[in-house]
């Protein structure tokens, strides 16, 4: 992503990781991306009753270049999928995605040819939020969980080690027969 990725392992990298995580989680700006009924709950989250401004996130950006969080609120139609991907590609790095509601996460009740059966077919998702529709409190909860995730994100060599460990855990969780097939 940036120069922090080149830092050697050790005290400096750990310190930069903590500082970068803290700065990133406290400066999230969502992109405006309401697609269906879930978007009403997302808008409600920005009102004074739920007060998204507590986290400095009330400013929904109308341009992807000034946003680093996409909240996919609602079902994604096949026609909208390429637009969604383009907006995601134009967002600033590093960026995160919350899939809000069952429709965005899996197509929900719209099991048909017109709706994408899960937005993770189009873009990577960091947090899945269940419900139809999820209440603003649930969206706030998923945002706080995403904050935790961002704070714990590894950089540089630490990231490579974390990816290796995750892959090992994934293989260990597979049935024995599949493990033997996959192990070189």
Residue 131 C-beta: closest distance to ligand SF4, Å:
7
**Helix (H, G, I), strand (E, B), or coil: what is residue 21?**
helix
Residue 45 C-beta: closest distance to ligand SF4, Å:
14
Pairwise CA distance, residues 39 & 36, whole Å: 6
The angle at the Cα of 28, spanning 25 to 33, to the nearest 5 degrees, equals 140
Contact residues toward ligand SF4 (CB under 6 A) are 36-38, 74-75, 101-103, 108, 132-133
If the CB atoms of residues 74 and 156 are measured against ligand SF4, the closer one turns out to be 74
Question: Where is 128: in which H helix or E strand?
Answer: strand 127-129
Residue 149 C-beta: closest distance to ligand SF4, Å:
22
If the CB atoms of residues 37 and 162 are measured against ligand SF4, the closer one turns out to be 37
Reading the block at residue 175, the tokens are 């049935």
Nearest 10 degrees: Cα torsion 147, 135, 74, 125: 20
If the CB atoms of residues 136 and 156 are measured against ligand SF4, the closer one turns out to be 136
Residue 36 C-beta: closest distance to ligand SF4, Å:
4
If you write DSSP's letter for every residue of 153-170 in order, what string do you get? ---HHHHHHHHHHHHHHH
If the CB atoms of residues 46 and 133 are measured against ligand SF4, the closer one turns out to be 133
**Helix (H, G, I), strand (E, B), or coil: what is residue 179?**
helix
């Amino acid at each position: 992503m940036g120069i922090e990725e080149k830092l050697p392992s050790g005290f400096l990298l750990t310190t930069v990781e903590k500082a970068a995580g803290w700065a990133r989680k406290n400066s999230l700006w969502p992109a405006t991306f309401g697609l269906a009924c879930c978007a009403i709950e997302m808008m409600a989250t920005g009102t004074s009753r739920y007060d998204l401004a507590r986290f400095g996130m009330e400013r929904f950006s109308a341009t992807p270049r000034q946003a680093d969080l996409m909240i996919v609120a609602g079902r994604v139609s096949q026609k909208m999928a390429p637009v969604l991907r383009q907006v995601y590609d134009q967002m600033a790095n590093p960026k995160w995605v919350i899939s809000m509601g069952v429709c965005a996460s899996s197509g929900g009740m719209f099991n048909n040819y017109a709706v994408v059966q899960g937005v993770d077919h189009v873009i990577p998702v960091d947090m899945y939020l269940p419900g139809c529709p999820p209440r603003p409190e649930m969206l706030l909860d998923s945002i706080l969980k995403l904050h935790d995730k961002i704070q714990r994100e590894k950089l540089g060599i630490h990231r490579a080690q974390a990816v290796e460990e995750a892959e090992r855990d994934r293989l260990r969780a597979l049935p024995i027969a599949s493990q033997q097939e996959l192990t070189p």
